[in-house]
Structure 1
Amino acid sequence: MRIVDVNEYYTPTGGGVRTYLDRKMGILADMGHELIVIAPGREDAVEERPGGGVIHWVKAPRLPFDRNYGLFRSGDAVTALLDRLDPDVVETSSPWWIAWIVARWQGRALKVYFAHNDNMAAYAGRWLEGVADMPTVERWFGWYTRYQASFLQHYDAFVTNGTTLARRHAGRGLTVHAAMPLGIDRGFFSPALRDEKLRASLLAQCGLPADAHLLLGVGRHHPEKRWPTVIDAVEAAGDRMPVGLILLGNGVDREKLSRRVAESPHIRLFQPVYDRLRFAQIMASADALIHGSDAEPFGLVALEAVASGLPLIVPDEGGAADIAEPPFAELYRARDARSGAAAIRRLFAREPAILRAACLHAAAKVRTDRDHAAALVDYYSELLDGKRRAAA
């Protein structure tokens, strides 16, 4: 099976979608299938991946507020590539012009809209926070849901990356054909990678002794991630216990966040760690993952943390909340730093041995990215068989 993903969220500098697709390329190649990505680039280029997979970069304008990302301006280059590649399945996930480019392409492929995010929650809900509650925002932006429905009618299937996003879209009246929860690379993440010397070193960089608590935050420096809420929560919790926070990431809000933590002696900002083994060691060596985003549909970082043996402190809305289970996690009210501080204190008040045992039990059950890829291929095979029978 040849799958072509026309993806505006795939960037040269990383991110959750790139991590997901890079892994899926290798997994599908091992399974005897092929994944090709068409992504907006600064220049036209072709990038082959060892072990299977190809990226076709198509020159496209950059987004003014985050130049790592681009938007396809013309469909000609994309449709020419699709004609030449002749896929069995073509996926896309952006709701803008590219959704219509793929919808109107006349190839033989099964067309799948694969939703990775929720623009309604990530943008409209955040912009109007404090003005109206989310159900009201949903009504005001009903035109956006109707717009999605207008291009989705040209697709063979609407698939989401998990149950959170499926519930949201179904609640708006859209037909979701399948929810395909993501998985992670269990080959990297393991509680066995915990390193007490590394943990002590990270705490020292936060100006704290080895008997303090170490929190880890991972993700883009973007308003959607709500890092100021996390920082406020950690500072408030730090009034009653020794707790440090390291944030790994980069993005449009980096300067703003740097100014925000300048007077916080126990909070440090670091660039993303692209060495996967080193990243997995850092994750396993923290004491908990803390998360702020209430809008993202799937908590991939949270799942990596669980596989690393970490407990979670996450908001009660969004994809991470679906992963968090009471034995190894604490929820707090989304967007509420005071509630977040209370969740930090509750987690570290637990009996450490019991909490650790719950985390190790959860780590052994984490869904893998191979599980996800196999389920997706099986689903696409069923759809292709149905399409062939209908044509016959």
Structure 2
Amino acid sequence: MKIVDVTSFYSRNGGGIRTYLESKSRALIALGCEVHRVVPGARTGSRRAADGAMEHTVAGPELPLDRNYRCFGDLREVQRALYRIGPDVVEVGSHYVLPWVIRKLAPAGVRVVGFWHSNVPDTFVAPLARRFLGPAAPAAERGSWRVVRAMHARYDATLCASRVVEQRLRERAVPRVVRVGLGVDLERFGLRPGVGARGQLCYVGRLSMDKEATLLLEAAPRLRAAGLTLRVAGDGPGAAAFRQARDLEYLGAISSERVRELLWSSEQCLVPGRYETFSLAAAEALACGTPVVCPRGGAAAELACGAGAGEPFAAGQVDELVAAALRIHALPDAALRERAVAARRFAERELSWTSVARRLLAAYGGERVARREEAVA
């Protein structure tokens, strides 16, 4: 099967979606697929990426609010790339222009699916509408979901990574939702040898509104007063506030190898955002055996509490976040080790990229494509 990913959510400095695309490529290539991706870049061109996929960049400008990301410039270059490749399936990862465009640009008969990486209506529209629109806020939120339904109606399937998200999309009448899950690099993120440095906490991820990272700024003084140290790794629109914060250690953007070392050396990992659609940070922490503090009822809690290594708190409540961190800190080493072993077993059972790739192929319509190829032969 020949698969093309098209997305503008592709950071030059890593990030969850880039990790997903690269990890997925390795797993699909190992299963005999040919994988391409079309993403914005500083210039138009093609190259063989380290993960084995062919990466086709289309020149486009940097986004003003986050210069790690770009948007596509000339969409005709996207069309040219798709016709050169001749895919069986196109997976779209950014949904507010591309669904209309890809349906027009892709060759006839190509199956087009979308992956729900970000919950824009709940994460951005609803909070901003409540803040600025008053009584008109519910109408704005309903309108944003109407846009989502219109966009995703153009897909043959909308893929998602968690039961929480699957339920939310079905509640909002998004058509043809398929949960495929996501994975973690189980070799890179191995089980740590101990329980981490007691009192050392970490956060790994984008410093942005959708991650609710500002909750960490509120929590940091209270954690420090309780004898805990918070280390923050990541970049994004909110980075300046973290650089200036006195009650935490800001590490900036770090490599995946350093992420592993940070998770190994931390007593626990904090995931403050209630709107996570999967939470790669939680998955990597679980693979390392590091307990996770996360909002109750979200995708991160689905992972961490399902693994027996989560400590939930009420979303958005800094007092509860601090209390959850203190509960983990109070556990003896033996209890932490039990959680670590349970978390690792869960990751090995549920978060293998090979398993994810097989579910993706089923969602892509692998059997249908195979039959079509046999008919052509």
Query: TM exceeds 0.5?
Result: yes
Q: 1:220 aligns with which of 206, 226, 248?
A: 206
Q: 2:271 aligns with which of 281, 287, 291?
A: 291
Query: Is the CA contact (8 Å cut-off) linking 1:79 and 1:101 kept in structure 2?
Result: no
Amino acid at match of 2:114: Y
For the residue of structure 2 that corresponds to 1:62, the secondary structure is: coil
Measure the CA separation in 1 of the matches of 2:363 and 2:147. Answer: 26
- Please list, as runs of the form range in 1=range in 2, the aligned pairs for 1:9-48 lying within 5 A after superposition: 9-48=9-48
Query: Is the CA contact (8 Å cut-off) linking 2:160 and 2:179 kept in structure 1?
Result: yes
For the residue of structure 2 that corresponds to 1:117, the secondary structure is: coil
Query: Is the CA contact (8 Å cut-off) linking 2:59 and 2:73 kept in structure 1?
Result: no
Query: Is the CA contact (8 Å cut-off) linking 1:315 and 1:334 kept in structure 2?
Result: yes
Measure the CA separation in 1 of the matches of 2:229 and 2:130. Answer: 29
After alignment, is 213-222 or 167-176 more displaced? Answer: 167-176
Alignment-derived partner of residue 84 in structure 2? 84
- Please list, as runs of the form range in 1=range in 2, the aligned pairs for 1:125-136 lying within 5 A after superposition: 125-128=126-129
Cα pair distance change 1:23/1:106, threshold 3 Å: closer
Alignment-derived partner of residue 320 in structure 1? 300
Deviations 1:138-163 (A, max 9, x none): 65322222222223333211211222
Alignment-derived partner of residue 110 in structure 2? 109
CA RMSD of aligned residues (A): 2.6
Q: 1:255 aligns with which of 236, 240, 249?
A: 240
Percent identity reads: 25
Query: Is the CA contact (8 Å cut-off) linking 1:193 and 1:280 kept in structure 2?
Result: no
Q: 2:281 aligns with which of 274, 293, 301?
A: 301
Query: Is the CA contact (8 Å cut-off) linking 1:333 and 1:340 kept in structure 2?
Result: yes
Query: Is the CA contact (8 Å cut-off) linking 1:316 and 1:332 kept in structure 2?
Result: yes
Alignment-derived partner of residue 66 in structure 1? 66
Measure the CA separation in 2 of the matches of 1:355 and 1:58. Answer: 47
Deviation at 1:112, TM superposition (A): 0.7
Deviation at 1:105, TM superposition (A): 2.9
Deviation at 1:124, TM superposition (A): 1.4
Deviation at 1:164, TM superposition (A): 2.2
Measure the CA separation in 1 of the matches of 2:230 and 2:130. Answer: 26
For the residue of structure 2 that corresponds to 1:82, the secondary structure is: helix
Cα pair distance change 1:248/1:363, threshold 3 Å: same
Alignment-derived partner of residue 203 in structure 1? none
After alignment, is 213-222 or 138-147 more displaced? Answer: 138-147
Amino acid at match of 2:239: R
Alignment-derived partner of residue 358 in structure 2? 374
Structure 1: gaps of 5 or more residues: 200-211
1:242 is the counterpart of 2:243:
no
Deviation at 1:93, TM superposition (A): 2.0
Q: 1:340 aligns with which of 302, 321, 325?
A: 321
Measure the CA separation in 2 of the matches of 1:187 and 1:138. Answer: 46
TM-score (norm 2): 0.90
Measure the CA separation in 2 of the matches of 1:233 and 1:342. Answer: 10
For the residue of structure 2 that corresponds to 1:70, the secondary structure is: coil
Amino acid at match of 1:254: A
Cα pair distance change 1:81/1:67, threshold 3 Å: same
Deviation at 1:126, TM superposition (A): 3.3
Query: Is the CA contact (8 Å cut-off) linking 1:60 and 1:72 kept in structure 2?
Result: yes
Deviation at 1:176, TM superposition (A): 3.6
Cα pair distance change 1:146/1:132, threshold 3 Å: same
Alignment-derived partner of residue 209 in structure 1? none
Alignment-derived partner of residue 185 in structure 2? 185
TM-score (norm 1): 0.87
